[in-house]
Structure 1
């Protein structure tokens, strides 16, 4: 039940979900935050590097957002007084070692490889692209069987191999930080809805994307500032025990503290591993989510970009072999963040060979939204509050920043009787939220 009394609350995890929940709960409750890493922020990870005497703040995880589909994040930045600026979100593909290259940055990018003008498969890809965007916009709003995969949808629509292998799989792999061989197995309904909601199925009038000035660290610092003195950084939770109506947290140092409530703002698999005695329902729902590990390499190596400079874009899918399984995604950070340097700076996910002279390597886990995960997601909120334990994270939605933020804010509101300092349309529309759990739900949640 939501409480008006002052509670001792532990929040485990300092990604956007955990930080936003702790930030909203903190004025009314006694909040303690656990973080296993040596920094706060989760996927909001700005790395500082010095090049040619200039200090650069480069994002290696969360980079961009747009106003229509990130309404709470827009308001959070406003409340925190954090600036943002417009950015470029062009996409390029370089396939089979550069044999096929194009970008979406206008006609010059589409035909940056001149042979595209006379390549029938390229024109077939463009025709399918136009047809897909028109039909998918309609189909995203229609009922579709849960077990229909993107691969099934493309086959039923008789889309060609060129469109599938040279456009939709590379683009989706870049957006979702997923291996190319996993994309075709994604549930088609969820895939189409996400792309439609983000304006990615529009040929024109696409949303304007933005990036945080100074890197995502700028908002993380201000969000965490009221929690100074309550952050246990480098001392993550190791075990969560439900004890006599309260919840005990045992940290990495072996210290044990007891709280009225605990919020697990971690990946689903991590939350399950933390619970000393998970219920059968928690095992089933949290255990339904799989994750992929992605290595992000910050570097200066231009060989990870398309071979033809005319086809360079902000997001670049590059495969060095005929199979797209051996592929990586490179973000051109100069274009994305307006870095004040003439040197080209890149972040490459899962490079197939080490970049020359890497500046930094970071690892991130991303949820895989297969059919099992989508089914479990619809029932995740039923876990809330049992034995004093609550859950939030981007896996409550599509795995992106606004999803994590929405889940953190919604948990804080239902748990702590607090309210975010703004109102936006569809404030929790990207996640599946249920009513505040009641005491009578305890027996069902334990089942």
Structure 2
């Protein structure tokens, strides 16, 4: 290779991980090409704009601990589109909605009648494990919490804090954020989730959650309709082959990043170790079905998020007043409501017709935010065969084993948000992959800053 030629990198997948890696590598002087099978970028940070409404049908919002994501937004010059809100969570119990204001969490929790005084006192027992896990709960990887994945949240909370806390605090937090159950998820996930809500606000884009990915996509060489079927090594080069809009293709690069969910990684990634293959094979995709409603008038409720406990509604996990996320999410006076179901319900109802799912969502939400049937102007039903990895006991240990076998000098690097959770995990993974590839480029004599 001519030393003055840019080090070339193929990136398979134009989700937020692939886009972030491509952005960093392009700015470092490397030549990148992104292969994306769909006609859009962003993966599961998807926004649909329809009849004046903006529906976030994948990722829900941005948490206050998204430091790298916010830094990237600032770098791209789009921070003016990002808006903070002080969320109010509504948790129903016995026919009454109890409000928890996250801008004043301690005062709100002490004053609520959602749980008894004795339960509030028992919450103090969370301080010790939270202190122990505070710096472990990062977006790079959940492997740091491997010592906390041998017991479920439900078992831990019932034993240490009581069933009331499991039903009305831990349950809604986990169901509302991961669509999962405290019976399945390791207790480390509860500590991780509490850590991420460490500031009294969340953020949203006025253009939709996918605005970051769309901005990156416009500044990068993304090739759509490109189904990659094989990635292989050829000496010190990497061959990427597949099917494009016009014909089959086979191209050679100096390195490759595969930024795909675990089921697709398992099919495409060459030379996985036994432990890496075991992790990808046992990573269970959590299916998701969600309903997004454009309403001719905004609901009267002022809660930003309504999180029904399992005892109140076993199949419904989250109701979001999306028009409160940021200005411009709905025409003046109108509203946007997103409704998410538990993973088991989603799996059982995945193939039902859209209209039936919308009717079911309206029936389930009626007792919490009122009957919205007459106000529906527009709707979207989103189905994700893979939304996130379903958390279960032993998962963090398997992630630790997977990471232990990563060869950071390999010309084929794998990444995504599957080692942690959320948009910040995707951005963090993209930046880490870019650092590894850039070191390879410099070591091979390619150009780079």
TM-score bucket (shorter structure): 0.7 to 0.9
Equivalent runs, 1:10-29 vs 2, <5 Å:
10-27=10-27, 28-29=29-30
Q: 1:25 to 1:105 in 2, by over 3 A?
A: same
TM-score normalised by the chain length of structure 2: 0.74
Cα distance in 1 for residues equivalent to 2:70 and 2:205: 10
Q: Please say if residues 237 and 253 of structure 2, whose CA atoms lie closer than 8 Å, have aligned partners that are also in contact.
A: yes
Q: Report what 1:355 is aligned to.
A: 358
1:372 aligned to which of 361, 379, 394: 394
- Offset of residue 418 of structure 1: 9.8
- Offset of residue 264 of structure 1: 1.3
Cα distance in 1 for residues equivalent to 2:439 and 2:219: 19
Q: Please say if residues 288 and 372 of structure 1, whose CA atoms lie closer than 8 Å, have aligned partners that are also in contact.
A: no
- Offset of residue 21 of structure 1: 0.3
Q: Report what 1:46 is aligned to.
A: 47
Cα distance in 2 for residues equivalent to 1:185 and 1:163: 16
Q: 1:301 to 1:316 in 2, by over 3 A?
A: farther
- Offset of residue 30 of structure 1: 1.6
- Offset of residue 197 of structure 1: 4.3
Q: 1:335 to 1:215 in 2, by over 3 A?
A: same
Corresponding position: 1:79 with 2:75: yes
Q: 1:415 to 1:150 in 2, by over 3 A?
A: same
Cα distance in 2 for residues equivalent to 1:212 and 1:292: 26
Q: Please say if residues 93 and 101 of structure 1, whose CA atoms lie closer than 8 Å, have aligned partners that are also in contact.
A: yes
Cα distance in 1 for residues equivalent to 2:389 and 2:4: 34
Q: Please say if residues 88 and 336 of structure 1, whose CA atoms lie closer than 8 Å, have aligned partners that are also in contact.
A: no
Corresponding position: 1:157 with 2:160: yes
- Offset of residue 387 of structure 1: 5.1
Aligned partner of residue 154 in structure 1, secondary structure: helix
Q: Please say if residues 92 and 101 of structure 1, whose CA atoms lie closer than 8 Å, have aligned partners that are also in contact.
A: yes
Q: 1:145 to 1:16 in 2, by over 3 A?
A: closer
- Offset of residue 405 of structure 1: 0.6
Cα distance in 2 for residues equivalent to 1:196 and 1:207: 12
Aligned partner of residue 413 in structure 1, secondary structure: helix
- Offset of residue 324 of structure 1: 4.3
Q: 1:151 to 1:66 in 2, by over 3 A?
A: closer
Cα distance in 2 for residues equivalent to 1:130 and 1:237: 55
Q: Report what 2:56 is aligned to.
A: 59
- Offset of residue 323 of structure 1: 6.8
Aligned partner of residue 288 in structure 2, secondary structure: strand
Q: Please say if residues 9 and 263 of structure 1, whose CA atoms lie closer than 8 Å, have aligned partners that are also in contact.
A: yes
TM-score normalised by the chain length of structure 1: 0.75
Cα distance in 2 for residues equivalent to 1:372 and 1:211: 33
Cα distance in 1 for residues equivalent to 2:121 and 2:213: 39
Cα distance in 2 for residues equivalent to 1:216 and 1:158: 36
Cα distance in 2 for residues equivalent to 1:87 and 1:101: 21
Q: 1:46 to 1:165 in 2, by over 3 A?
A: same
Q: When the two structures are aligned, how many residues end up with a matched partner? A: 378
